[in-house]
Structure 1
């Protein structure tokens, strides 16, 4: 009945006597008292001595005696201070603080996060790049004007492709399909030729810098830039239109990389790399725009190679047709002349 945990806990809370006297005998043997004392429940409980009970009091007294006079004066001063009520500072969150913050330290007010901070920074960078404040105004305006023909031919290519694709009964919005095709074939060599001229001109700038001695005289290294650029540029005029455009795009990008390296080494002014970035970006975008427009052309519009074959075959056919017409015309003339001579002979005989 007394083997559960509650009964044992209740028995432990009751302090048993040091010895259990026998009910039958008034005096118990010492050996029996010794065994009974150490075998009782009381012998198993920890007994706190009076010295141990006095240790907290002694520690408090020793700490009190170690307090200096300055600390005593400070405690006396603090005890006399009056705490002023400040109900205006009490709020629902005045007694709370962040988990990892310090109590009593005023935190800086949190500013609302600017969602568009990154976008505004990028826009400012783009504006600073395109402002070109260090570039001479003459070079800036003339360089931008030089990209207008290239950009115009690209826009015209896209317009002609749109007109050809949207022509109804042979007519588009402004031009007929035949007129748009002829205009497209006309501007193709213009764009390739003008791109070759620009690429050659950008390479020739390094010859001028070498002659002027800007950044020192570099010799063959800088002259080679002005030689390789036109060699690559003018070889594109013998390529098909798509291959020529892609080659010129790679040439402009490669020359831009060379110009950046030259600026880093001090061969060109510091503003030249930014200036070249603007020109390369416009020309590269124009080339991509042209390729997109040409990719939308219908299949029945021949390319440059196909047009050469068609022109050659058409010329031969037209030449043979002209020769046949000329031969037939000569036969008719000979037949007419023969008839005239026969008529004259008959007249003579009748006389």
Structure 2
């Protein structure tokens, strides 16, 4: 017997638990702060401290968050909502991608992480459509992933512009 697919028109209408939503948005602060800081650091004549340290810290933070998202998917697989070997194997890929990205120079790391966040967001959307993730989670992840991706790309651009200037 086939299960009914969720009503996707309700994606935005389903608020998640307040604490999850607040913590999710709070997790954006390091990404957004870094993007702004590195853009200001790229302005000719500015000499802001800690640019390389902050860029590396952002790549590491992005790797940790991407790994966390893979852990969420591991938990879904353990809970039995998607219990195939494929789900367990795929759930470790964000951690491996994040780890590899953290070993790269910051600009490359940020680009790889941006791609990883986009792929994870797409995976979450498909899982919500199939009914293995709550709609509120997919909505939250989509919003957060878009901000994270833009912030990482802006931060990488700031680093590149700062080196050229």
Q: Cα 1:296–1:270, aligned 2, differ >3 Å: closer, same or farther?
A: same
Structure 2, unmatched stretches of 5+, are: 1-10
How many residues align structurally?
Answer: 155
CA–CA distance in structure 2, aligned partners of residues 211 and 296 of structure 1: 45
Structure number with greater CO (CA < 8 Å, separation at least 6) is: 2
Q: For residues 4-59 of structure 1, give each alpha carbon's deviation from its aligned partner in whole angstroms, at most 9, with x where no partner exists.
A: xxxxxxxxxxxxxxxxxxxxxxxxxxxxxxxxxxxxxxxxxxxxxxxxxxxxxxxx
Alpha-carbon separation, structure 1, partners of 2:135 and 2:163: 47
Contact 2:74-2:92 at 8 Å conserved across structures: no
Report how far residue 141 of structure 1 moved. Answer: 0.4
Q: Counterparts of 2:143 and 2:164 in 1: how far apart (Å)?
A: 35
Following the alignment from structure 1 to structure 2, what is the Cα–Cα distance between the partners of residues 237 and 298?
20
TM-score when normalising by structure 2: 0.85
Equivalence for 2:67: 200
Answer yes or no: is the 8 Å Cα contact 1:196–1:230 preserved in 2: yes
**What CA distance in whole angstroms lies between the structure 1 residues aligned with 2:92 and 2:164?**
39
In terms of Rg, which structure is larger?
Answer: 1
Q: What's the counterpart of residue 134 of structure 1?
A: 15
Deviation, structure 1 residue 280: 0.4
Q: Does 1:186 align with 2:53?
A: yes
Map of 1:242 onto structure 2: 107
Does structure 2 conserve the Cα–Cα contact (< 8 Å) formed by 1:199 and 1:230?
Answer: yes
Q: Does 1:259 align with 2:124?
A: yes
Q: Is the 8 A contact 1:147 1:283 kept in 2?
A: yes
- Higher share in helix: 2
Residue equivalent to 1:160: 41
Aligned equivalents of 1:298, 1:284: Cα separation in 2: 21
User: Deviation digits for residues 301-334 of structure 1, max 9, x if unmatched?
Assistant: xxxxxxxxxxxxxxxxxxxxxxxxxxxxxxxxxx
2:140 & 2:86 partners in 1: Cα distance? Answer: 22
Q: Distance in 2 between matches of 1:140 and 1:288?
A: 23
Aligned to 1:43: none
- Matched with 2:92 is 227
* C-alpha distance in 2 between matches for 1:241 and 1:151: 16
1:153 deviation in Å? Answer: 1.3
Check whether the contact 2:36–2:155 (CA below 8 A) recurs between aligned residues.
Answer: yes
Asked whether the equivalents of residues 67 and 95 of structure 2 are also in contact (C-alpha less than 8 Å), the reply is yes
Q: C-alpha distance in 1, partners of 2:92/2:163?
A: 39
CA–CA separation in structure 2 for the residues paired with 1:265 and 1:279: 21
**1:160–1:183 contact (8 Å) kept in structure 2:** no
User: 1:208, CA displacement in angstroms?
Assistant: 1.3
* Structure 2 CA distance for partners of 1:218 and 1:151, relative to 1, 3 Å: same
Q: CA RMSD in A?
A: 1.9
Cα offsets for 1:45-96 (capped at 9, x unmatched): xxxxxxxxxxxxxxxxxxxxxxxxxxxxxxxxxxxxxxxxxxxxxxxxxxxx
Counterparts of 1:289 and 1:283, CA distance in 2: 10
